[in-house]
Structure 1
């Protein structure tokens, strides 16, 4: 049994850094493993223009360790007020790699998001024209729709039509959580993809609710039934290049997670690659990890694959119970769990 695993350095294709003092902890945690990361724009206020993306990028780079070879890939946040000119400017900036659609109210800091995804076809047209990917939080938000059905309803109500009407638009269904999402991606060509988080690979809603509510497993989109988890696992283990790594690592202070109305998000960055390695190892598929983590994402985004490497060693360690992130105490996802793989020093 191999005791080391060397991979082309991976990238994280869906990530939350937050802002301000928290960057001092979140950026180094990602830069220690990943060469690049697609950085989500749901700040307060959101990153809605190329100008704001540049300013945010500068704050991220100021927090990166001097020795780190790390590149944040910026994203603009679509609103009802976004114009085709905003998209053209973002595409021409050289630092923006996607536009994120948050349905208003779907998740953290999404109140400024799009109220009706069917009302912004002029923006999808601009994204297609300028070859800027559409990154989707694919859920509806109406209160009468069950939270476990919101991804499927979004696909049925909006996404099938968007895919049909804009055939040259690159679309990423972020943090896919359902069999319906998997089948949507599989039914379309190479311009359709999905990112996959460690929590949706390794858990289902039993891990959130059985034996008590477990707030550090609460994320949005929410964990689904085991049948959906199995569909995600099968897609990833098949080696399909349309499914690739995106942690959706989402830091929140411990007291904001462990609260009467706790925040959604799993802060997986401190142990992300060892956790993915653990999943692939458990399924006797370590040979599939490198393509999932290091090849499929850059290929979809039309970027070069990284030329350097990282090494994991087969050595058990325990994810710490707490970490300090810019002076804020956070509980990493899977805190206190023994993991059989760790990053080599």
Structure 2
């Protein structure tokens, strides 16, 4: 990877965790992702979740039709797993590339997760099939019982669900998505397994819960899993700076209208697509870890998913750029992550 003081050229990256929503939001936000990323794992938690091949094909076509600046962009679709999902549907969908992976949402863990899984043992038959055919399982790793503190949900999930799951299905490929804790970092590192990986978001690298709660609540920083203590933020930053190949880019970009963020029950999600790649390189530079930037963004994910590396390149220039302040969609507004801030890097498109 050619590196100089003023610019970095890397293999064009992929985003392994993207929410695009539907209708006008989809048409507006898609081009931010396709500007920087060649492929993206598309989350299936729409209002009417993507639970079968027919829905996946329809949604994929909508995505391709909506984007207009990267005709080579590949949306990689996922199946929203339910207790009623057909094993045959998974097999056919995976074999025909209608599905790249299956997504596990614990019931009521995040946006549109009401139809998620209440007891993971109820889908063991699906997981057995997925292990057999090599279909990755993507996990929103949180326990959702009301008795568990929200800041402890991820750690409890490792103990109560993930570890027993991996003992039962040792060859099931698992991505623990958007990890937020030192315990998750340690678990992935200690496992040292080709069947376990984790994605890390730019906002969990740049922020901790003080950023959200001190000197007034910052609703634009509210996301799930929720921001944690600084000790956990440091662990995430150390993970990417270590060069460990089990960690890779997954922005979890998740747009919501401002009126739904600034609300008595504000929606969880941070729309970071316009600034995600620049946010990542900012942290890598701060951690003196630019030598691992390409691997994290462009190599570790494809290798885990058994996909070829992209052939195109992208260049980031060390030149100040300002993050867009707001995005108008009709009468509505979406405020992106780091809105209006000046970053030290720009994309040379």
Normalising by structure 1, we get a TM-score of 0.97
What are the residue-to-residue correspondences of 1:1-345 with 2, within 5 Å?
2-65=5-68, 67-188=70-191, 189-325=193-329, 328-345=332-349
Q: Which string of whole-angstrom CA distances, capped at 9 and with x for unpartnered residues, describes residues 280-339 of structure 1?
A: 111221111110000000000000000111111111122122013576410001112211
Q: What SS is found at the alignment partner of 2:319?
A: strand
For 1:325 and 1:85, locate their aligned partners in 2 and report how far apart those are by CA, in whole Å.
39
Q: Return 5+ residue gaps in structure 1 as ranges.
A: none
> Per the alignment, in what secondary structure is the counterpart of residue 251 of structure 1?
coil
Change (3 A) 1:327 1:132: farther
| Separation (CA, whole Å) in 1 of partners of 2:87 and 2:70 | 38
How far apart, CA to CA, are the structure 2 residues paired with 1:223 and 1:203? Answer: 7
CA deviations 1:146-177 (Å, max 9, x no partner) are 00000111111111011111111100000001
| 3-state secondary structure, aligned to 1:270 | coil
Deviation, structure 1 residue 119: 2.3
Aligned residues: 345
- Checking the alignment, whether the CA contact within 8 Å between 2:274 and 2:324 is kept in structure 1 is no
For 2:170 and 2:184, how far apart are their aligned partners in 1? 18
More divergent stretch after superposition (18-27 vs 71-80)? 18-27
Q: CA deviation at 1:90?
A: 1.7
For 1:218 and 1:325, the matched residues in 2 are separated by: 21
Gaps of 5+ in 2: none
Question: What whole-Å deviation, never above 9, does each CA across 1:69-102 have from its counterpart, x for those lacking one?
Answer: 2000000000111121221122122131100000
Please identify, of 10-19 and 275-284, the stretch whose mean Cα deviation from structure 2 is larger. 275-284
CA contact (8 A) 1:179 1:231 kept: yes
TM, length-normalised to structure 2: 0.96
